[in-house]
Amino acid sequence: MLSGHSQRHKNVQHMKEQVEFSIKENTKLLNMLSGQNELSFDPPAKQEQAGAPAGSAVADSASQTLPQGLPAATSALVSIIVPVYNAERYLKNCLDSLRAQSLEAIEIICVNNGSTDDSLAILHEYAELDPRIIVISQDNLGPSAARNAALRRAQAPYVMSCDADDSFDSNMCQMMLNTLVREDVDLVICGMRVIYDVSERMPENINESYRFRYFGKQVVTFQTAFSNNVSACNKIFKRELIDKYEIDFPEGLLFEDAYFYEAYMTAAQTVYFLPVPLYNYLRHDTSIMSTAYTMQNTSTDHLLIGFRLWDFLEKNTLLDSHGEYFWSRFKQYATFAFKHSKGAKYAEAKRLARAFIKERKSSFNKASFKTRTSIIILLNTKFKVLYAIYCLAQWLTGKLSRSDAPYNELIGLINQNLALEAQIKELLTEDAYRAG
């Protein structure tokens, strides 16, 4: 067994390899952008008549050059789902970013979810400007119901999502689709640019879940699936896989992205990590994840998401191959629910978690010793002090035995990679400016 110091050295070496791979991929991407990569979509000619019939923009864009392996399309190639609820402050910026996509063969499906502000009026205004924008209006049935309504309406073979307060970089759809087809994978995940517009200070480690641990094409494993944020918004999905496994968003629950991501990843075989921040994620006072840290009535939804994931794995006979993955995720769901619940809600979360494990004891006992132990400690307060002391000892051992040299080398590689990403961003900005 490796000592703590040896394990950390191994981890640093692994991170160096991943960053070096990212540098290689970013260098290829930079050269590709500079040399007008042959896989890029050629922007279609702009419509000259202001009164062109509805749908003509999509039909025209389908005639553009497609990457090898992508079937000819007669309509949109990518469906972008946009759930909308009281988003008048940010909605125009979101829609402007989607309309400005270099890939024009898209449909933008906006679902007004019972908004009481001017969101619906803005949607209708933009639908008059752009026939690719489809507006659905329904009562406030929650974000999952809005996303599912858009999924039912979507016609394209690939699906992306954008929250109404966020935005896409102008080349996001094109780069994500090109990568998915060129690399022949089930899923592409790009980087996220987190923008803060909150009055209260967020936890210091809030960005941790948006950092890449893997780069390039990977087989979906416990590690690659577990290492990502669960947002649906920085990913492109295959509609074929969604339909095959009947994957949707759990209605009546928040954190719906978590279930959709988990179900899709357990059904997928391959994934590509694209280390370019193409999605602009705005964190503000009323966003779901900003308020999740203070919500007492909905934090336990994470546990219910976990329960539904179990049902999905059981239905599709995936429990044997994904049991360890499930119980590791279950620990995360339970941790979040316990941490952000108080009083009766805390007691209810503990009761739900214990009852769930008791009914599935056979599967739980097949999980690794580490996973089972961490969940047992989580459910039993009397063990927490000992566990905290153990974690502190591990941290102190690491601080005392750490050598600066490998870390400095890693930091140098990271800075080199950041410089490449800055050049890529500059080129993308120039391309968007010229296209405009």
pLDDT tens-place string over residues 212-238: 778 888 999 888 888 888 889 999 999
Phi and psi at 205, nearest 5°, equal: -95, 20
- 70-84, 108-122, 217-231, 280-294: range with highest mean pLDDT: 108-122
Chain centroid to Cα 172, Å, comes to 14
Residue 435, pLDDT score: 53
Residue 290, pLDDT score: 38
- Average pLDDT (196-212) is 57
Query: What band does 57 get if pLDDT is binned at 50, 70 and 90?
Result: very low
Query: What band does 379 get if pLDDT is binned at 50, 70 and 90?
Result: confident
Tell whether domain 57-294 is in CATH 3.90.550.10.
yes
Does the pLDDT at position 172 exceed 80?
yes
**Taking a C-beta distance cutoff of 8 angstroms, is the pair 277, 421 a contact?**
yes
Q: Any residues with CB less than 8 A from the CB of 181 and at least 6 apart, and which?
A: 39, 67, 68, 69, 70
| pLDDT tens string 298-316 | 667 888 999 999 999 999 9
Spans of all domains in the chain: 1-35+412-436, 57-294
Residue 205 CB: number of other CB atoms within 10 A?
7
Nearest to 59 by CA among 105, 100, 107: 105
Give the pair of three-digit tokens for residue 192.
């996220």
Residue 15, pLDDT score: 64
**Taking a C-beta distance cutoff of 8 angstroms, is the pair 106, 132 a contact?**
yes
Residue 71, pLDDT score: 45
**Taking a C-beta distance cutoff of 8 angstroms, is the pair 324, 222 a contact?**
yes
| Amino acid making up residue 187 | L
Give the pTM: 0.72
* CA–CA gap between residue 260 and residue 211 (Å, rounded): 20
Q: Which string of b and e fits 283-322 if b means at least 16 CB within 10 Å?
A: bbeebebbebeeeeebbbbbbbbbebbbebbeebebbeeb
Query: What band does 49 get if pLDDT is binned at 50, 70 and 90?
Result: very low
Does the pLDDT at position 153 exceed 80?
yes
76 vs 61 pLDDT, higher one: 76
SS (H, E, C) 195-237: EEECCCCCCCCCCHHHCCCCCEEEECCHHHHHCCCCCCCCEEE
Query: What band does 345 get if pLDDT is binned at 50, 70 and 90?
Result: confident
Q: What is the mean pLDDT of the chain?
A: 77
In percent, how much of the chain has pLDDT > 90?
43
